[in-house]
Amino acid sequence: MRKVYVYFAMFLFLFACGGGGTSNDTASDENTPDVNTTPDQVVTDNTTPTPDVVAEDNTNTADTGPTDPFAGIDLTPDPDCTGHWLVGTTGFVVDEDQTPVPGTRVQLCIRDAKDDSLQCLTPATAQDDGSDVITAPVLTRCISEGVMRLVLPKSQRVVQYCPLQLEGEGAIIESSEPFVMFATTPATTLPERGDEEVERTVIFEDGMELDMVPSSFFGSGDGYDGISVRKLAMDTPGLCTTGTSAVEFDIVYGFAPEGDVWKDSYALRQPASPDQAGMLAEFYVLGGLNCTLVDETHVGETEWAKFAEGIVAEDGMVHLSKEAGLPCIGWMGVVFSQPTGTP
């Protein structure tokens, strides 16, 4: 039953293959996919319904010249719209050094304010100066919420999910801050695939360990062979993915490539420090393209959900069993605190 929830979730928010839409221009990583995967997306089958990718002739092309990309477009809201009237967005994509990251696919996914349906627009491609422009088709302009999904094809940068701030904005939302694409560091210990059904321990730069089974990880790009991570502070400039969290994380991890763990979860050993022995560690995961907890709870896109907790051991590590392990690969947040009742 776990994947029934997963497949239904693909019909919802940030999954933009052209299942019934007008375009097949999706935010993919454009690599040749692994077996049972689609580019930059988790495993699907041909019967799974997916949201329409909505496009029009002048949609999603960045204009780096002086011409107003929205010139000639009527910005007047539909009087029947009870939500936010959004005609388009503009923004820039950079790395941590504020250098443009051309080629990044910038995709706007919206929830329709009229019927609560979820649709993803055809992604824009960031130009040489990092700029991107998205024009929403008329029928998708009355929205209740929206999120930008950013992925750089053929790279090991973390996929960002940035919620749109609609309050106080007009028909055109110009991002005041650039979107940042974070680079990752490959695993320091990555056993060869060999028998893909056999569990093995993957170790990352800060000492975090995951007991992975290559056959159960459905990721984009190089999949298991490309697994990498970036450890970030909650207040890292440009980290908009944490914007929907009500929890203040002590550590945030961004994994690449993004992907699902099929009918499984991965035992995890999280480094802390010996002086934190006895403290409670709570673990959260971000819902992205596809994430379902062990108890079959689907984690919605841009939603942070707690999936486990543990106590820091004397060796300075938190040991999570397979039954309480990492349920999907994308973003993970960790919070340390004194257990309830501790003096």
pLDDT digits (tens, 9 = 90+) for 291-343: 888 888 888 878 899 999 999 999 999 999 999 999 999 999 999 999 876 65
**Coil/strand/helix, residue 168:** coil
- What distance in Å separates the CA atoms of residue 193 and residue 29, rounded to the nearest whole number? 22
CB 239 within 8 A of CB 162: no
Q: What is the pLDDT of residues 18-72, one digit of tens each?
A: 333 333 334 544 433 333 333 333 322 222 333 444 544 333 444 445 588 999 9
- Per-residue confidence (pLDDT) for residue 129, from 0 to 100: 97
- Which segment of 7-11, 75-79, 107-111, 114-118 scores lowest on mean pLDDT? 7-11
d(CA 27, CA 86): 21
For the domain made up of 1-183, give the CATH fold. Answer: Immunoglobulin-like (2.60.40)
CB atoms near residue 268 (< 10 Å): 23
Q: What percent of the chain has pLDDT over 70?
A: 80
Higher pLDDT, 81 or 37: 81
pLDDT band at 186 (very low <50, low <70, confident <90, very high): very high
Model-level pTM? 0.79
Instruction: Tell me what pLDDT residue 300 has.
Output: 80
**Domain map (residue ranges) of the chain:** 1-183, 185-337
Q: How confident is the model over 234-243, as a mean pLDDT?
A: 91
CA-CA-CA-CA dihedral for 251, 108, 290, 18, to nearest 10 = -160
Residue 91 has pLDDT above 60, yes or no: yes
Q: How far apart are CA 226 and CA 250, in angstroms?
A: 26
